[in-house]
Amino acid sequence: MIVLLLLALSQIVSGMPSMLPGTHVRIVMPDLMTVIDVAVVEDGELIFHADFEPNQSVRLLISYSPDEYLVAPRALISAEGDDILVYFDNVGHVISLRDWLEQRGVRLIMRPDAEGSAEQ
């Protein structure tokens, strides 16, 4: 367990933490008080069910346990509502969460229950 936390902390310093199975991701309002949605990496997928506003400013709380959140990067829901664009001060540019997850074998799914939603 300690090894996983050290790995997570080293990943945070470099930008994004790794998204191991069981990783919890909360999307919250910029004030960090209002939770919009929560998802857990399971079976190679991270599924959010909320109805996000395009271009909505949010923060991500990423954790390896449901009680201890490690990072709170600034982010923006994409104009299409199918991606989360994450900004880390130490990286200096926007990272597509969808692309970043795909490179690690995790599929981001946003609003799978929406009527007429395309497979993402």
Q: Kindly report the pTM of this predicted structure.
A: 0.75
pLDDT at position 28: 94
Q: What is the pLDDT along the chain (120 residues), one digit of tens a residue?
A: 433 433 443 344 345 567 788 988 999 999 989 999 999 999 999 999 999 999 999 999 888 766 676 667 899 999 999 999 998 777 778 889 999 899 989 999 998 775 544 444
104: CATH: 2.60.40
Q: Is there a domain that residue 115 lies in?
A: no
94 token code pair: 């926007």
Q: How many structural domains are present in the chain?
A: 1
Q: Is there a domain that residue 45 lies in?
A: yes
Q: Is there a domain that residue 120 lies in?
A: no
Q: Is there a domain that residue 119 lies in?
A: no
Residue range(s) defining the domain that contains residue 46:
2-110
pLDDT at position 77: 96
Q: Which helix (H) or strand (E) holds 100?
A: helix 97-102
Q: Is there a domain that residue 9 lies in?
A: yes
DSSP-derived letter for residue 119 is P
pLDDT at position 93: 81
Q: Alpha-carbon distance 91 to 27, whole Å?
A: 20
As to burial, measured by CB atoms within 10 angstroms (0-12 exposed, 13-18 middle, 19+ buried), residue 58 is: buried
